[in-house]
Structures are given as structure tokens and as C-alpha cells.
Structure 1
Amino acid sequence: MATSLNRLRAHRLRIPFGERDGRLFGPSDVPRGLASGCRCPGCGSPLEAKQGSKRRHHFAHVGVVEQVCRESVLHRYAKQVLADATTLVLPAWVGTPTMPNPPSASDWEGRLVIGEAVHLPAKTVPVASGRQEVSFGTVRADVVLDDGEGQLLVEVRVTHKVAKVKEERVRELGLRMVEVDLSGAAGVETADLADWVLHQAPRHWVWHPAAVTRWQASLDRVNAIIAGRVPVYGSGGENMLVRLRGRKADRLRHAASLSGRSGDPGLDVLLGAWVWLEGEGEAELFELVDRELCIFRARLATGEERIVRLDGGPGSTSGAKAIADESARSA
């Protein structure tokens, strides 16, 4: 068991490429031994080209092999391959942990509404040009390619995935970015590595603005369906604030002046107010469910609960002001 483990470690520590004249070469592409003229791209030490018949061809340090060198070499080689690429496989967009595809949401009765999935399948694209180490403000991409749809940023992962800070900055800039995962490269033959990097290695979208826009549109339709299931009160004075408990009239007056503005924190002041629900009577607003849509949870005098959406138009605002004034006079 120990022998097998040592062999595995030795295999992983082999250097697949050597550097000469600013380019990386495979061990079969140069003269044998130190005549290869190659150095380690990671540490700069001289390399021997090992071209035996029993083991996979590889480079070896004259001294001790370090894992960090192999990782650095693999990273550099992948960037070179990508920058020289004429074609590249792009992954399917399958969503993200915060944007499940398709989008879905539950209404206030627990019924699930599922939106339309964004279909963006994997495909092979032609590459017109490529550059290594390109900066976009504070973002430095491993490789930038022109795939006919504009600039495509490609990150090469050997051990660490794209940092959250970098991912957030890419989102802010509205750039496309793909991450290619080379953590499984140890099992790939050196001669096959270039094709594996371009067409077979695992990859995923870090950010795809067009896909996100389509996903958001689908989510908006889901939210519209849910909002349409909630009764709307307030138009024409149907939703009148009829009684105020535990709040001052001037605070209610301020809330009423803001109630037509979606997402305004002034809506919180309406909690504790009583409204008139046509056909059901008075109900107390006790929970703000959706600030953007002005949706509250209300409790009837019977103890039953209702979900209501307040109309932010002039009808409800004027009604709220009228009740606030009345409360002020009676205070």
C-alpha cells in the first residue's frame, strides 16, 4: 500500500513541460536529458527530459521535485494553450447556487410557481484571438479570448477556484467569465493535455450576463404570477386605514406619504395599522411580506389571516392621510 502511494505521489510530482525561449515544450518534443535546454517554469531550475520506454515521458528536476512547480507549470501551459486556441468548448449555463435554473418561488399559500428555464447548452466556438494576463481595472484574467461574441475571460483552476472578490468584480463589470478546472490533469497523458484543456476538462460559467438577464426575466414572470394571486385593496378608497393602535399620527402621516414608493422603508410604519377589507371587515397589518410589491399579512378580528396588497396610488395615500389627520385631532 505504501509503495503504491509513493508511486502515486511521484506520478503527480512529475513536471509535464519545460520552458525554453519563453515557450513551453513537452518532454517528447526536445532532446533527451539535460540536452533539452529546458528549465522549470515554476522555479527556473534545469530540467532533464525523461524519455524512457517504461514510464510516461516527463521532465525531472536535477534536484528535488516540488509540487508547487508542477502546479505552476500546468497553469502556465494551460494559459499558453488557451491563448493559442482556434476552438474552445463553452459549458452549458446551468444556473448558480443563488440562481437555480429554472427559477421558482412559492406563493403565500405555499404553492410552488416554476418559471421557464434558461436554455444555454454547451457548444464549441471558434476563437479568433487570445491574450494572456489581461487587466480590466482591478480584475486580471488568465486569458482573454475573442469568440465572436466579444471578450471572453478564462480562468485556469489548478487548486483554487476563482475568488469571491474577483467574481463579484466581474459581475459589476458585466463580463463573461469561464473557469476551466485542471485538478484532474494528473490522469491525462502529456500529449493529450492540450486537447483536454480546450475541449474536455470540467468547466463552468463564473458569470454570463446574457444568461442572467434571461433568468431574471423568467423570475420576474414568476413573481408577477404570484402577485396576481393576491387581492389588491386601496383603489377608490376601498382600503382605508380605520384605526391606529400604538402609533403616533405623525408617523402614520409620514408613512402614508411614502406608501406609493415601492421598496420604501416607510412601509414598516404601517405595521399595527388597521385596514378595511371589502366583504370581510377590519384587519390589522402585522407583517410586511414583500416590500417591493407592498404586500402585507393581515389578521381579521376572527383571528383568520389574509394576504393583501396595498394599492400605492392616490386613493390609498389620500385615505391614509385622512385617517392620520383624524387620529391627530382625536389625540
Structure 2
Amino acid sequence: MVEEDGPGSNPFGLVDHSAFAAFGAELVYGIRPDGSLVHVSSVPRGLACQCSCPACGGTLIARRGDFNIPHFGHHAKGGGCGYNPETNAHSWAKEVLGRELRLLLPSVAAMVGRRRLQTYDERVFTFTHAELEKFMGDIVPDVVLTAPDGRKLLVEVLVTHACGPEKIEKLQERGIAALQIDMSAWRKSSDRREIERALIDGAPREWLFNPKVEEAKERLQAQIARHAVAEEAMRRRAAERLAATSRAEEARARRALDAETRKFEVALQRARHSTTGAGFDELQGVRADAQLAPLLLPSAFTDGFTVPSTRWQAALLIRRVQVEIGDEFHLPNFDLDAAVRSISDCIGEPFEMEVPEHVARALRSRGLVGKLPRDAIEDYLQYLCDQYILQRDGGGGFEVADDRAESLAKQQEQWLVRKRRRKTVDQALDTILSLIPPDEQGAFDRSQWETRNIPDLGRSLHAFLKAPQARWQELRDALQAIERMMQDGAPARTLLGLPVEGALRRARNRERSRAQGEADARERTLSIAAFDALEEAARDWLYTPPDADAPIVLARNSQAGLDAALHNLADEARRRKMEAAANLLAAECRRELKMAAEKGLGATKSRFFLHNYDASLRARPWDVAISKAGLASALAELAAWIKREKRSKR
């Protein structure tokens, strides 16, 4: 038994060299001197392995270093014999098949032309022995399986190279069955069990040669020959029967054709004398349409029609080709049958149906018809294609030509815009008029208003509906402003000739009342803030200066004026607070200086010191002592005075 594969390789000796952007194949099986197979992982390294190559018989050296994956190398050949994957595969396959002794054999079948004969089904076959042989001088070993009855089966394992035509030819000459198993899909697999299952019954396999296939082929050829003889006999009998009845059939066919042709001939006469008015209204409509009128062809396409050609063409244009802009807008797409059905009242019965070709040929050969209705209609539709009105849709039908479809789509979009605008105007007018008291509507006529130029805007409603967006916006904004005014909103700038003068007066009164209320609210806000910040001085501040610049006047005029006044109030409050703090500090400093002067100089001289100009201080001490720094300067000068006073007494 051959040992398990070494690390880093699969049963085919394929080693992952992905770090070097490659997937290499190394030889991992060798033959011992006693002829047994051995894996490289089970022998000493170097020449001590005493192994030879299963493929070429050359001396092998076992490479089992610390950094490379174990494998065999050829001692005398730098690159080896080149059969590593196949050699490994055959050695491994012989080991697996020798252990399992079973193999899935494909079905046996032969093909001759489109005929197939299968003589044996696919099945798993059990063998008694598996061995490697150098078969027919080929150096690549094949696995040979022996059946219980002694028959041999050569198994070729395909990893990278398929069995060549020369070898297959030799197998055929020897008459030995050979099976090729394609293991290429498992070439890089590292799952040994999966690979073994693939070998036994999972991988694709085919017969390279099997004597039973040749036997099946001979049987199939014999069957084909027998069938051919039987079919030839049947053909002869059929020909004899056909010859016996052909003249009678031809006579019956001629009589049937004459009868059918006669039926259509009568229908032609009936159609030519018809007095129907079909298509008349459509013809008048087309002639009144400058775009459709040139499309009428007063030709001779009248055979089978009950009306002149211009009438059925007009009916087809109106009923199938014309596109109506509006709520029912759609781009038509139809086939010839639909076109024929749409003008069936212009076609005599039974010509709206397709006339059998043999009848049509008979009618033409007798000079009874030129062009039948369906052909005439199809030709006219093609004419419309040539005029870029229609185009073929690629599926046997007709549709609107691309350029015309684009133009129609733009027209429809413009119609939808006008419709949306008209709806907007109607809704606005309905709302406005519903809010006007009856006694204020006077003699207003809505229909006249809609047809005349709108006052203040100088154009009619119809013109606005088609106008560019910016111009339409003028009317819409004006209507919305009036509608808001009617719903207690601000006065509208323009009345558009609508009877809303009363609503305008009420809106202006509301505006004045609202402005007065807002001014009063702003005045209250500023007054409360001023009395909170300035107390008794608030009224003087609110009305100073006594004109339009007074804070109370600015606040009443606007919100911006109130904001500015509140900002000035905050500044004034901070200024007064700082002034009060300074006055308090000055009083404290003067009190302290006075007490120190009276203590050091006495009451009389202290008054003289405090309220007379001092050269050193360049001011009266009383005026200097309004801050801590000033107090310190005054106290220093006081100390000098006290010192001089003491010297004078001594």
C-alpha cells in the first residue's frame, strides 16, 4: 500500500506555489528495487531512497529538505522526464483501485447518423486485481484492471494530457477495452476523499475503445438497413396508390377551385356596386386637415372594396393613424389584421379575410382583380412609412415614426400644461367668487372676463395658458394674492378686473388695525423693559429727544426700531449702573479721605486741604479722591501736609 500524500501536495503531486504565482507539479511516487510503489514521505532522503522513476525508469533522488515540499527528482536529468502529474496520477490511481477494486463504467452505445443504440447501461463493476504496466512500449504507466473472468480493462487517468490518437489506434488493433477518466477538474483539490470518490464514480469518463461498442454499431447498422428496405417498399406502394388516384384528385381540385373562385367573383361584383356611405365623414375630416389631406392617394385600389380608395384611406387615417391630443392621447401600434378590421365596413365580404393564395392566383389569371384589399392596405401603410408618418416596429406591425412621435409627445405635454394651468385658474376663481358677497358682485361676467384681456396684465386668459412659465407665473401669483386677501390676508397689489374692491377695503382696514396693534405691542414691550431697567428715569429716556428719533417712536414704527431701542436701552442701563457704582466708590473714598484729614489736620485745616488746589496733585484732593488710586494719591499728599504741620509746631 502506498502511504498518504505528504504535506503541501495532493495525490497528483501538485504543490501550491501561489507565493510565486504558479501551481507546480512534483513527482511524489517512486518504485523500490522490489517493484513496489512508495511515497517520497516514506523513504530516506537523497540517493539512499534507492528508487527509480515509474515513468522512465531513471534513478531518483529524494528531496526532503527543511524548506521545500518533499518530492522526487531525477538524479541525471535536471528537469526530469516531464511526466510528473500523469505518473503520480497513475501510481495513485493504481493504489486506490487496487484497494477499492470497483469502478463506474459508462454505458455502451453506438451512433450512426442520428440513430443511437445502447446495449449496456452505466454500472459499477467489481474487479479482482489492479496493476501498473508499461503497455505497448509506452513509458507512461496505465492502470490495468482484471475482471473475474480474466478480461483486462486499461484505465487512463487524464490530469493534464489526454490519450493521443496513436495510442487509441493501437488499442483498437489489440482489441483491448480502454477507459479514460478526466480528473483535470480535481487537479488542484486538496480533499483526498473527494478525489478518490471522483475517480471511482464521480469524474467524467468515456470509452477510448470497447469491442462491445463495435458490436453495438454493427447491430445498429443492420437495423438501419432493415428499416431502409421497409421504407423503400412503403414508398413504392404509396407511389402506386398516388398514381392511381392523382387524376381523380386533380379533377376534384379543379372543380373545387372553380367553385371557390366563382364565390369570390360574385363577391367582387357585389362590392363594386355597393352604395355604402362608409368612410364619407372621415374623408371630409381628412380633407379639412392640412397635414392629413396630402396623404390621400386617389389610386386604383378598388378591387374588393365597397368604397373609393380615398374613402377607405381616410377611414384608416382617422381610425388608426391619427393621434388626438388630449385626455385620450396614445401612440398607436397595430398590425395588418388590426388595420383591416378597423375599416371592415369599407371592404366587401369575404375580402376582409386573407384570400387563399391559390384562389388569388386564379382570380388574377382570369383578369378579375388587380390588388386585393389586404395587399392594398399593406401597400398604403408602407407608403405612410415612406412619408415618415409610420414605421415598422420590428415585430410585423406598425407604429408612429420616431420624429412624429417625439413631436406628438411635446404637443401632448403642452396640452397637459395648459390643462393644469386652466385647473389652477378655475379653482382660484371658484374660491374668490364664492367669498364675494352677492351685493358686491355687481354685473361681473366670468365668461367675458375669460375671453378679454385681463386688466393690469394686458393679455387674455387663453394667452396666459400658452405663455412661458415666467409670464404665466404673473397671473398665478396675482390670483393667489387675491385669494389670500379674500381669506383675511394682506391687500392684493392688483385686482385683475375682479369684483373684489370691497374685499380690498376690508383688507386695508385689517392691515391698518393689525399695524396699529403691532405698534401698540412694541410700545408696551419697550415701556416695560425701560421701567424695569431705568425705573424713575424711564419716561425721560423713552421720549428723548422729543421727536421722530425718540426710542418710543422708533419702536412703534417697526420691529427693527424696537430691536434698536432695546439694544440702546441695554447700553443705557449698563452705563447708569457703572455711573452709580462710580459715584458710590467716590463717596466712600471721599469719606475716608475726609476722616483722615480731620484726624490729622483738624476741622478747619482739613477743609482747606480738601477743597483747595494742590500743586502736587494738580487738582483739589476732594476731586482726586474718586477712586482707589486717587484716594491713595490724596492720602499720600495728606501725609506730607501732616508732617509739615508737626514740624511747624516744633
The structure with the largest helix share of the pair is: 2
TM-score (normalised: structure 2): 0.27
The structure with the largest strand share of the pair is: 1
Structure possessing the higher radius of gyration over alpha carbons: 2
- Whose RCO is larger (CA < 8 A, sep 6+)? 1
TM-score (normalised: structure 1): 0.48
